[in-house]
Amino acid sequence: MEPYIDAYWTVTSATGSAAVGRILPDGCVDIICNLGDAAISDAGTAQQQWLGSEKAYLVGTMTRYSDSCQPGMTRMIGIRFKPAAFNSFFRLPLQDTADECIEFGQELVPLLLQAGDHFIPVLDQYFLERNTHGSRDMLPVVDTIYQHRGCIKIGDLARAHFLTPRQLERQFLKHTGISPKAFANIVRYQTVHQHIRKNPDSSLLQIAFDYGYYDHSHLTNEIRKYTGKAPSSIMEKAASGK
């Protein structure tokens, strides 16, 4: 499963008090199985949505940050698919799913409820039986974007994989829900975010130049879009060791 699934993850709380967390774009698609009390996705926004108890949801590729709220007793199990890998297991084209949360995969809920804490082998078996390798041709394209840290022209990317830009766009929308340019921007932001956190004394102007942003303002706007924070605040937090 390693080429296709990035992680199984869990969120649990037995305190009964509300927990709020910020989720940042990572280029991945997730299935979330809410096995506890109802929770809130995109809390405090026009896109706010309740995640019902004992229901499963598909969360499309995120192009902006999202705040979630888990009031009460929380138990969630998630499957994070590697970018473009979702369609190796499901026949659902992902165009129009970006930044959306839709009910999907309800058959997973009873399996996970029955498995309890021993859910990993259950999920491994479930996905092993469903794997068609249907997205394997897209994975090298995604790898090329990561190798270039998101800083690659879409025309060059298409030529490197013997595709026209139009074919590449169509395949990305099907397998990720977003365009290749939007995905490359997310990869670039992730690289820059990591750089800022590791090097809080860096010059933002130099970072903007190194990673192909037009200027300092372009970098700041992109980071704020994906994190809700200015680069300077991320640097201050990193420098303080918090």
Q: How confident is the model at residue 238 (pLDDT cuts 50, 70, 90)?
A: confident
Domains in the chain: how many in total?
2
Q: How confident is the model at residue 15 (pLDDT cuts 50, 70, 90)?
A: low
Q: How far apart are CA 83 and CA 97, in angstroms?
A: 14
DSSP assigned state of 12 = E
Q: How confident is the model at residue 67 (pLDDT cuts 50, 70, 90)?
A: confident
Q: How far apart are CA 172 and CA 215, in angstroms?
A: 28
Side-chain half-sphere CA neighbours of 227 within 13 A: 20
In tens, the pLDDT along 202-234 reads 899 999 999 999 998 999 999 999 999 998 899
Final residue before a domain boundary, out of 130, 162, 194: 130
- In this structure, the answer to whether residues 197 and 150 fall within a common structural domain is yes
Q: Which domain holds residue 159?
A: 139-240
Q: How far apart are CA 190 and CA 26, in angstroms?
A: 7
In tens, the pLDDT along 70-82 reads 776 788 999 999 9
pLDDT at 21 over 90: no
Percentage of residues in the chain having pLDDT higher than 70: 94
Residue 91 identity: R
In tens, the pLDDT along 76-135 reads 999 999 999 999 999 999 999 999 999 999 999 999 999 999 999 999 999 999 999 989
Final residue before a domain boundary, out of 104, 130, 156: 130
Q: How far apart are CA 34 and CA 31, in angstroms?
A: 10
Global pTM reads 0.91
Question: The domain spanning residue 223 has which CATH number?
Answer: 1.10.10.60
156: which residues sit within 8 A by CB, 6+ positions away? none
